[in-house]
Structure 1
Amino acid sequence: MTGARAALARQFASYLGVSLAALAVHYGVLAVLVETGRADPVRAALAGYFAGAVISYGLNRRLTYASARPHAEATWRFGIVAAIGFGLTWLIMAGLTRGFGLPYLVAQVLATGAVVFWNFLGHRVWTFAVRPVAVLSEEATGVR
């Protein structure tokens, strides 16, 4: 495995570890809301997704991506990537529970499997990506 591929594999493994913590919160909220009758499975999944996203931001920023991007930039970027994941979760959960009648936990596992890759890539290439450093041309600097 090349150095770049090994680094990507380590980063994805870290992401999966962080995701487990966020998923514990997500699934906990989902189960409590459904089992207590406070929300239907789709709304409960979305509430769980939001709660898990809060955990995910802090841990991924620090552990997975070791980002130095200022919070003022990273939080709104994270929000956009998470909002798309939120929409995907809604579509998958609604389709599988309401459309196909699958049990909510089965539907959530399938939704999680799809959304985890979207979130990893979105955060890797955009939310927490290293900001490019401006390089001045020789003409602009006067150096040759």
Structure 2
Amino acid sequence: MIERASAARFVAYAAVGALGTLAQYVVLIATVHAGLATPAVGSMVGASVGALINYGLNHRVTFRSTASHRSTLPKFAAIACLGVLVNGMVMKVLAESHHVNYLFAQIVATGLVLVMTFLINSAWTFKPQQRAQTSARP
């Protein structure tokens, strides 16, 4: 039962994250094609925009958290910062150091950061006890 709930939550997290990911890719492509940023920098700026989009949706839709934003927002922001840094490192190594196509590198970074942030946000930002309280309501 827990595995099925976790799988459903991951699907919701990925679906919600698709909006933020779309914003990230738009910023990435626009900044790289305009010559305004390297793939790593453009991706990190885009990931920051995506995180802003994703917080509210994850709080309300994915995790159905009853915790206050005062409690969850700083945690989510810390995990988002970690995700932006990991994303930037993957982009730097793959796209800039190894000359992998930056969009392919971004797909790899997206998958890695998606799994990492889901696991941490599930265990820490939006703890199961906070979700259980919502489920127990009539």
TM-score over 0.5 for the pair: yes
**119, 122, 137: which is aligned to 1:121?**
119
Residue 46 (structure 1) aligned to one of 25, 44, 47: 44
- 1:131-142 map, 5 Å: 131=129
Q: Distance in 1 between matches of 2:10 and 2:95?
A: 29
Query: Could you tell me which residue of structure 1 aligns to residue 135 of structure 2?
Result: none
Identity of aligned residues (%): 32
Superposed CA RMSD in Å reads 1.2
Residue equivalent to 1:72: 70
Write the distance in 1 (CA, Å) between the matches of 2:45 and 2:85: 12
Structure 2 alignment gaps of length 5 or more: 131-138
Work out which of the residue numbers 44, 55, 58 in structure 1 matches 2:56: 58
* Aligned residue type for 1:32: A
User: Contact conserved, 2:39 with 2:96, CA < 8 A, in 1?
Assistant: no
TM-score (norm 2): 0.89
Give the letter aligned to residue 49 of structure 2: A
Aligned to 2:25: 27
Deviation at residue 98 of structure 1 after TM alignment? 1.7
Report the alpha carbon displacement of residue 106 of structure 1 after superposing the two structures with TM: 0.8
Instruction: Determine the structure 1 residue equivalent to 2:7.
Output: 9
1:107 corresponds, among 98, 105, 115, to 105
Q: Which amino acid aligns with 1:15?
A: Y
Runs of 4+ in structure 1 over 2 Å off: none
Letter in 2 for 1:122: I
Tell me which residue corresponds to 2:136.
none
Q: Is the 8 A contact 1:69 1:130 kept in 2?
A: no
Aligned length in residues:
130
TM-score under structure 1 normalisation?
Answer: 0.86
